Chains A and B, each alone.
Chain A
Amino acid sequence: MDMAFFLGCIAPLRYPGIESATREVLDRLGIIIHDMDGASCCPAPGVTRSFDKMTWIAMGARNIALAERQGMDILTICNGCFGSLFESAHLLAEDPKILREVNDILGGLNMTVTPHGVQVRHFAEFLARDVNDRAIQKSFKRKLDLNVAVHYGCHFLKPSKIKQLDDPERPTMVDKLVELTGAKSLEYREKQMCCGAGGGVRARHPDTALAMTKDKMDIIKEAGADCIVDVCPFCHLQYDKGQKALGKGYDIPVLHLAQLYGLAMEVDPKLLGFKAHAVPVNLEIGDKR
Chain B
Amino acid sequence: MPEKTLEAYPLVTEDDIDPEFVQRVAATPGGEHILDCYACGTCSASCPVRAIDEEFNPRRIIRLALLGLKDEVLQSDFIWLCTGCYTCQERCPQDVRITELMMAFRNVAVEEGYPHPTVKAIADMIEQYGIIMEIGEFENEKREKVGLPARNVPPDINRGILKDTGLTKTLSKAKPRPSTKGEEGGEA
Contact = CB atoms under 8 A, between A and B. Distances in A.
Interface in B109-155: 110-111, 115-116, 118-119, 122-123, 126, 130-133, 135, 139, 142-143, 145-148, 151, 153-154
Interface stretch (A128-136, A195-203, A247-255): A195-203
Interface stretch (A141-149, A175-183, A220-228, A271-279): A271-279
A160 B187 CA distance: 30
Contacts of B21: none
Contact of A196 (B83, B111, B162, B164): B83
Contacts, number: 212
A256 to B, nearest CB: 13
Given A53-B30, A206-B186, A208-B81, A41 B131 contact: yes
B42 interface: no
Secondary structure at chain A's binding surface: helix, strand, loop or mixed? helix
B118 A58 contact: no
A9 B152 CA distance: 11
A198 to B, nearest CB: 4
Contacts of A28: none
Nearest to B29: A53
B161 A194 contact: no
Contacts of B81: 199, 201, 205, 208
Contacts of B122: 47-48, 200, 203
A58 B161 contact: yes
Interface stretch (B7-15, B59-67, B68-76, B177-185): B177-185
A209 interface: yes
Residue in B135, B146, B167 whose Cβ sees the most chain A Cβ within 10 Å: B146
Nearest to A21: B146
Interface in A204-253: 204-209, 211-212, 215, 234, 237
B89 A58 contact: no
B184 A206 contact: yes
Interface in B79-130: 80-87, 89-90, 99, 103-104, 106-107, 110-111, 115-116, 118-119, 122-123, 126, 130
Interface stretch (A11-19, A69-77, A119-127, A281-289): A11-19
A44 interface: yes
Nearest to B118: A204
B6 interface: no
A236 B29 CA distance: 31
Contact of B133 (A9, A20, A46, A271): A9
Contacts of A197: 83
Contacts of B83: 46, 154, 194, 196-199, 201, 209, 212
B185 to A, nearest CB: 5
Given A158-B89, A159-B86, A208 B161 contact: no
Interface residues of A, number: 69
B160 A40 contact: no
Given A49-B103, A197-B83, A55 B161 contact: yes
A85 interface: no
A52 B167 contact: yes
Contacts of A47: 119, 122, 132
B80 A204 contact: yes
A212 B151 contact: no
A78 interface: no
Nearest to A98: B29
The 4 A-B pairs with the shortest beta carbon distances in the complex, nearest first, are A206-B186, A194-B85, A199-B84, A158-B86
14 contacts: A13-B133, A39-B153, A40-B131, A40-B154, A53-B104, A53-B107, A58-B165, A62-B158, A203-B118, A203-B188, A204-B183, A206-B184, A215-B51, A270-B145
Given A17-B146, A41-B132, A59-B126, 13 more contacts: A38-B157, A43-B158, A44-B132, A47-B122, A48-B126, A52-B107, A53-B104, A193-B48, A201-B81, A204-B183, A204-B186, A211-B52, A237-B188
